[in-house]
Amino acid sequence: MELAELLGKLAPIPPDGETLAQFRALAARGRALVDRPDPRVFARLNMDFFKALTGITGNEPLRDISERLYYQTARIWLKLIAELDLAEEAAIFAREIAERIARSLYRRVSTCESSAPRFTSAIWSASS
Protein backbone atom coordinates (compact mmCIF):
# COMPACT_ATOMS: atom_id res chain seq x y z
CA MET A 1 0.00 0.00 0.00
CA GLU A 2 2.79 2.44 0.79
CA LEU A 3 4.37 1.94 -2.63
CA ALA A 4 1.00 2.43 -4.32
CA GLU A 5 0.70 5.82 -2.60
CA LEU A 6 4.11 6.83 -3.98
CA LEU A 7 3.00 6.12 -7.55
CA GLY A 8 1.03 9.36 -7.57
CA LYS A 9 3.75 11.35 -5.81
CA LEU A 10 7.14 10.46 -7.31
CA ALA A 11 7.74 11.75 -10.83
CA PRO A 12 4.01 12.08 -11.54
CA ILE A 13 2.92 12.12 -15.15
CA PRO A 14 0.44 14.95 -15.80
CA PRO A 15 -3.04 13.61 -16.55
CA ASP A 16 -4.51 13.88 -19.99
CA GLY A 17 -7.97 13.12 -21.33
CA GLU A 18 -7.11 9.47 -21.90
CA THR A 19 -5.88 9.03 -18.31
CA LEU A 20 -9.01 10.62 -16.93
CA ALA A 21 -11.22 8.46 -19.15
CA GLN A 22 -9.36 5.34 -18.07
CA PHE A 23 -9.89 6.11 -14.39
CA ARG A 24 -13.53 7.02 -14.97
CA ALA A 25 -14.07 3.66 -16.67
CA LEU A 26 -12.42 1.86 -13.76
CA ALA A 27 -14.67 3.71 -11.31
CA ALA A 28 -17.75 2.72 -13.33
CA ARG A 29 -16.63 -0.91 -13.40
CA GLY A 30 -16.14 -0.77 -9.64
CA ARG A 31 -19.67 0.54 -9.09
CA ALA A 32 -21.09 -2.16 -11.40
CA LEU A 33 -19.19 -4.84 -9.50
CA VAL A 34 -20.90 -3.82 -6.27
CA ASP A 35 -24.27 -4.68 -7.83
CA ARG A 36 -23.08 -7.92 -9.44
CA PRO A 37 -20.11 -9.35 -7.50
CA ASP A 38 -18.06 -11.81 -9.52
CA PRO A 39 -14.62 -13.15 -8.49
CA ARG A 40 -13.16 -13.04 -12.02
CA VAL A 41 -14.44 -9.53 -12.66
CA PHE A 42 -13.09 -8.41 -9.29
CA ALA A 43 -9.66 -9.87 -10.06
CA ARG A 44 -9.57 -8.27 -13.54
CA LEU A 45 -10.63 -4.89 -12.16
CA ASN A 46 -7.98 -5.09 -9.46
CA MET A 47 -5.29 -5.85 -12.04
CA ASP A 48 -6.48 -3.14 -14.43
CA PHE A 49 -6.57 -0.60 -11.60
CA PHE A 50 -3.04 -1.52 -10.59
CA LYS A 51 -1.84 -1.14 -14.17
CA ALA A 52 -3.48 2.28 -14.37
CA LEU A 53 -1.81 3.32 -11.11
CA THR A 54 1.61 2.33 -12.38
CA GLY A 55 0.98 4.50 -15.43
CA ILE A 56 0.79 7.71 -13.38
CA THR A 57 4.46 7.73 -12.44
CA GLY A 58 7.52 8.35 -14.52
CA ASN A 59 9.68 6.71 -11.84
CA GLU A 60 10.62 3.49 -13.59
CA PRO A 61 12.36 1.77 -10.62
CA LEU A 62 9.27 2.42 -8.47
CA ARG A 63 7.01 1.08 -11.21
CA ASP A 64 9.16 -2.04 -11.67
CA ILE A 65 9.36 -2.95 -7.99
CA SER A 66 5.64 -2.25 -7.51
CA GLU A 67 4.81 -4.57 -10.40
CA ARG A 68 7.01 -7.36 -9.08
CA LEU A 69 5.50 -7.14 -5.60
CA TYR A 70 1.95 -6.88 -6.91
CA TYR A 71 2.16 -9.95 -9.12
CA GLN A 72 3.93 -11.98 -6.43
CA THR A 73 1.22 -11.25 -3.88
CA ALA A 74 -1.73 -11.37 -6.30
CA ARG A 75 -1.60 -15.16 -6.19
CA ILE A 76 -2.33 -15.08 -2.47
CA TRP A 77 -5.43 -12.90 -2.59
CA LEU A 78 -6.74 -14.74 -5.66
CA LYS A 79 -6.76 -17.94 -3.62
CA LEU A 80 -8.50 -16.23 -0.70
CA ILE A 81 -11.18 -14.48 -2.75
CA ALA A 82 -13.62 -17.40 -2.36
CA GLU A 83 -13.55 -16.91 1.42
CA LEU A 84 -14.43 -13.22 1.26
CA ASP A 85 -17.79 -11.46 1.30
CA LEU A 86 -17.30 -10.37 -2.29
CA ALA A 87 -20.11 -7.80 -2.29
CA GLU A 88 -18.56 -6.06 0.70
CA GLU A 89 -15.05 -6.26 -0.76
CA ALA A 90 -16.33 -4.87 -4.06
CA ALA A 91 -17.92 -1.91 -2.26
CA ILE A 92 -14.70 -1.22 -0.37
CA PHE A 93 -12.65 -1.47 -3.55
CA ALA A 94 -15.03 0.80 -5.49
CA ARG A 95 -14.60 3.47 -2.79
CA GLU A 96 -10.83 2.95 -2.84
CA ILE A 97 -10.75 3.47 -6.60
CA ALA A 98 -12.68 6.74 -6.30
CA GLU A 99 -10.45 7.95 -3.44
CA ARG A 100 -7.23 7.04 -5.22
CA ILE A 101 -8.36 8.74 -8.40
CA ALA A 102 -9.18 11.91 -6.53
CA ARG A 103 -5.94 11.96 -4.52
CA SER A 104 -3.61 11.04 -7.35
CA LEU A 105 -5.03 13.32 -9.98
CA TYR A 106 -5.61 16.24 -7.65
CA ARG A 107 -2.01 16.10 -6.40
CA ARG A 108 -0.72 16.16 -9.93
CA VAL A 109 -2.91 18.95 -11.23
CA SER A 110 -2.82 21.11 -8.12
CA THR A 111 0.54 22.44 -9.29
CA CYS A 112 -1.21 23.77 -12.40
CA GLU A 113 -3.70 26.17 -10.83
CA SER A 114 -5.70 26.71 -14.00
CA SER A 115 -6.50 23.04 -14.59
CA ALA A 116 -6.91 21.86 -10.96
CA PRO A 117 -10.59 22.85 -10.55
CA ARG A 118 -11.56 21.28 -13.88
CA PHE A 119 -9.90 17.93 -13.12
CA THR A 120 -11.09 17.90 -9.51
CA SER A 121 -14.68 18.47 -10.62
CA ALA A 122 -14.39 15.73 -13.25
CA ILE A 123 -12.99 13.26 -10.73
CA TRP A 124 -15.73 13.79 -8.17
CA SER A 125 -18.46 13.52 -10.79
CA ALA A 126 -16.91 10.25 -12.03
CA SER A 127 -16.85 8.71 -8.58
CA SER A 128 -20.49 9.39 -7.69
The torsion defined by the Cα of 11, 103, 47 and 33, in degrees rounded to 10, comes to -170
Residues 6+ apart with CB under 8 A from 127: 27, 97, 98, 99, 101, 102
Write out pLDDT tens, residues 46-84: 999 999 888 888 888 888 988 998 988 888 888 888 888
Alpha-carbon distance 49 to 55, whole Å?
Answer: 10
Question: Left, alpha or beta for 11 (phi > 0: left; psi -120 to 50: alpha)?
Answer: left
- Among 99, 118, 103, 112, which Cα is nearest to 14's? 112
- Among 40, 61, 46, 22, which Cα is nearest to 96's? 46
Write out pLDDT tens, residues 16-30: 778 888 988 999 999
Average pLDDT over residues 81-105: 84
**Predicted TM-score (pTM) of this structure:** 0.74
For the chain, give every domain's residue range: 2-127
